[in-house]
Amino acid sequence: MGLRFRRLSLLNQALVHRSYMQTAKPGSVKGDNETMEFLGDAILGLVISEELYRLYPVSEVGELAKVKAQVVSRATLGEIASGMGLDQWILLGPGETAHGEGRRTSVIGSTLEAVLGALYLDRGLVPTARLIRRLFQHQIKAVEAGDLAADYKSLLQEYVLRYFKAAPEYRVIEESGPGHRRRFQVAVGWRGKSYGQGVGPSKKMASQEAARVALEHLLAPLS
């Protein structure tokens, strides 16, 4: 990362997955990285939000929230963390190591957030924000150029898993039109409640539209 930690114990803890605690020797580590991940997630959100505000000061908050969700998605975090080689340093339990959990996007991305939290505790906001801008410069430039394509299904999946501990379910509620001009209406929801519907010439496109509508619904209080 091009940075030196003053307190290496903070960095070490940021690399400890909760599974490692099950077999770690007593006193060998202070704890896992989940609270640091929580802190790092907040700091990452703050810095990226500031960058988006700078780029689009008059945009609606709901739109900015959707762009932010793309920039800091688990896929993006995992890609950046893998590029740093962070997966080589994560401390996992024996079972998780055997099954390659350290290469999972969610695990690597969460570890990157924990490292950012540790850096904040060690060096403060300014160096941490500088690192975040450097690591995410490609994604930020993509936003500026308008090249950040929206995958609403992936964004909704991540949002619902994180905040509702559930998975979105899609179902076709209507199919009409001749074979060469089919029209699909798809609904998406979870836990017995519908959050959005979409229409399109294919199930895939209708599902994307339903996911977009659901995100609009979820983020409406922010706008």
Going from the C-alpha of 57 to that of each of 64, 133, 149, the distances in angstroms are 10, 18, 21
- Residues 6 or more apart in contact with residue 222 via CB below 8 angstroms: 61, 62, 65
- For the annotated catalytic residues, the residue numbers are 41, 113
Q: CB under 8 Å to 144, separation ≥6 — which residues?
A: 55
pTM: 0.69
pLDDT tens column, 53-98? 888 876 677 777 777 887 888 778 888 998 889 989 999 888 777 6
Q: What's the CA gap between 74 and 79, in Å, rounded?
A: 8
Full strand arrangement of the beta sheet holding 169-176 = 169-176, 183-190, 193-200
Q: Is the pLDDT of residue 156 over 80?
A: yes
Domains of the chain: 8-145 (1.10.1520.10), 152-222 (3.30.160.20)
Closest C-alpha among 141, 155, 146, 142 to residue 207: 155
Cβ pair 113, 44 in contact under 8 A? yes
Q: pLDDT for 93-116, tens place per residue?
A: 887 776 666 677 888 999 999 999
Q: How far apart are CA 208 and CA 199, in angstroms?
A: 9
What pLDDT is recorded for position 23? 81
- The average pLDDT across 197-201 equals 87
Owner of token pair 């979870």: 190
CB 76 within 8 A of CB 138: no
Distances (CA, A) of 156 to 36, 42, 45, 108, 142: 24, 19, 17, 20, 21
